[in-house]
């Protein structure tokens, strides 16, 4: 019987390194916050694109969760343009 390995997140399970997993966790968290903001404000994709300073297809990629198409810097810039505040907390790994 093989022992199943447990992961703290899906990113830990699918990424090759812990650094890559942390990067993907941060990107996905930023994307979810942006999606929530768009929905809460009742914005169309075109309106969100204007607010973020990107194209509507870019917002479509965001809404469809295409995390591999976005870098942390881009997502932070979009959040800032939307009037959101981004905070990063660093702590010891478990």
54 phi and psi angles, rounded to 5 deg: -130, 180
pLDDT of res. 85: 95
Total count of domains within the chain: 1
Task: Tell me the whole-structure pTM to 2 decimals.
Answer: 0.80
Residue 10: is its pLDDT beyond 90? no
Contact 34, 62 (CB under 8 A): yes
Residue 24: is its pLDDT beyond 70? yes
CATH number, residue 44: 1.10.260.40
What is the domain range of residue 72? 28-88
Tens of pLDDT, residues 31-60: 999 999 999 999 999 999 999 999 999 999
Residue 62: is its pLDDT beyond 90? yes
Distances (CA, A) of 78 to 2, 25, 32, 47, 59: 45, 17, 12, 13, 10
């Amino acid at each position: 019987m093989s022992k199943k390995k447990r992961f703290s997140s899906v990113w830990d399970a699918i990424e090759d390194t812990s650094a890559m997993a942390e990067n993907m966790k941060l990107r996905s968290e930023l994307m979810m916050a942006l999606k929530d903001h768009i929905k809460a404000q009742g914005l169309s994709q075109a309106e969100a694109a204007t607010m973020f300073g990107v194209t509507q297809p870019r917002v479509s990629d965001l809404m469809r969760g295409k995390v591999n198409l976005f870098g942390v810097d881009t997502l932070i810039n979009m959040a800032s343009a939307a009037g959101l505040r981004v905070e990063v907390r660093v702590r010891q790994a478990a």
